[in-house]
Amino acid sequence: MDMQSTVIVGMSGVSAADVVAVAREGARVELSAEALTAVGAARQFIDDLAAKPDPVYGVSTGFGALAVRHISPELRAQLQRNIVRSHAAGMGPRVEREVVRALMFLRLKTVASGHTGVRPQVVQTMADVLNAGITPVVHEYGSLGCSGDLAPLSHCALTLMGEGDAEGPDGAVRPAGELLAEHGIAPVELREKEGLALLNGTDGMLGMLVMACADLARIFTCADITAALSLEALLGTEKVLAPELHTIRPHPGQAVSAANMLKVLAGSGLTGHHQDDAPRVQDAYSVRCAPQVAGAGRDTLAHARLVADRELAAAVDNPVVLADGRVESNGNFHGAPVAYVLDFLAIAAADLASIAERRTDRLLDKNRSHGLPPFLAGDAGVDSGLMIAQYTQAALVSELKRLAVPASVDSIPSSAMQEDHVSMGWSAARKLRTAVDNVTRVVAVELYAAARAVELRGEDGLTPSPAARAILAAAREAGVGGAGADRFLAPDLAAADAFVRGGGLVAAAESVTGPLA
């Protein structure tokens, strides 16, 4: 784990880049002096309220539908322990390490804001656990995305208490208490409000949104590149990418995608042949409208990032400690703003995959590919070429369409009808992660097919663009096989997936085009 970089957590929130650095790159976390001062001041308000006879939610009452019970001072530490233990009720497979680290970091961000009322030592312990590389075991199911990601965050809070299981920096799962002791971290003894403050936030769904946005930004660039390669391979026209055509429909993402495609196609000897042997007035929609579809996805991504940035600057808890010392109940824990954009991104990912698959199918169909061999096979009939690669791609697209069904329109009442409308944002985030993986695979299959088709055009004496030639060379170097007789195809497709996922495709294109958006 790379522990060289450091992220400072202050009162004003954190950035998306900070989340990615901590979650994926193992960046260290440090708390600003300003944040610790604000945390201490907010805690004093909680201590003052705890000393009074008036009931305050989360301080001297039960939780949810049980908030009607006043809790006496001698039971309040037990109350805070009990909420963590009882709410750590997740089931199913373990959630990925990067998601849990993002969840922990974002909860740390909120408790460091000075609006939750925890003690400074609790905040410091959260940072210490992250920096030690200790990752609580969190399960797939348990969050309704309202009152926060309760079960996932409770499993994290359980680790702070030295209970439950966690993964150490070596990847082994062991009792959390042992891991804390090995790293010299004292378990937290929770006091008033602290158990509630550790588990009442939208941090899991937000962490997954931030990482999905980072991944999709790369995928949209990759899709522009593969669309350009497909256009070349189909001897299409690049005239539809002219900037003036996109200026008159001023969607920003559309112009960016068209510009990317033009850069990749610069200097191509394959484009502009649509009037040759089988004259075409226009290319098919999947080719001609590539910037419009990818561009709409880019604009959706821009909106999702705006929502994420607002959440990253937020302090999501209930009740919250305000600057004037008031402790007020609120509904800011509701995950609707995050859930909506998570679902929206799943729709955009599904449609990006859908149009990419249509281009692949066109490359393989001898009746629509303008002279390419059936299925791009070496000896069609003896060889099946990429026939089943397209089946795999189609299966992925079909799955993406199912994943595009919104989770946020569902709601199951809970807590004896006190929590009678929930966001299902965690579920939206979980399915988006699968969607991001699958759309990457779909783009990888288009790359594989388009690269083979461009290579075959080269054998006919037509010269691909310099960027296309650089991509082909880098892909071959990365183990992505070229044209020829049938062979075991799965390793080639896996290599194409790794080439796209790991940044090799964008790097190869940019070695010629310069930076792509």
Which one is catalytic: 57, 285, 340, 448?
57
Q: Are 451 and 232 in contact (CB under 8 A)?
A: no
* β-pairing verdict for 28-31 and 6-9: parallel
Phi, psi of 334 (to 5 degrees): -65, 130
As a whole number of angstroms, the distance between CA 107 and CA 83 comes to 17
Q: Are 148 and 202 in contact (CB under 8 A)?
A: yes
As a whole number of angstroms, the distance between CA 86 and CA 416 comes to 16
Cα angle value 244/245/246 (rounded, 5°): 90
DSSP secondary structure, 476-501, as one string? HHTT---SSS----HHHHHHHHHHHH
Paired with 139 in beta bridges are: 94
Radius of gyration of the chain (CA): 26
57 is catalytic: yes
First-to-last C-alpha distance (Å) of the chain? 29
Inter-CA distances, 231 with 132, 289, 345, 387, 429, Å: 50, 11, 26, 20, 33
Element (H, E) at 8: strand 6-9
Distance of CA 139 to the CA centre of its chain: 18
Question: Which among 256, 236, 351, 327 is positioned nearest to 298, based on CA atoms?
Answer: 256
As a whole number of angstroms, the distance between CA 19 and CA 22 comes to 5
- Exposed/middle/buried for 135, CB within 10 Å: 0-12, 13-18, 19+? buried
Active-site residues: which are they?
Answer: 57
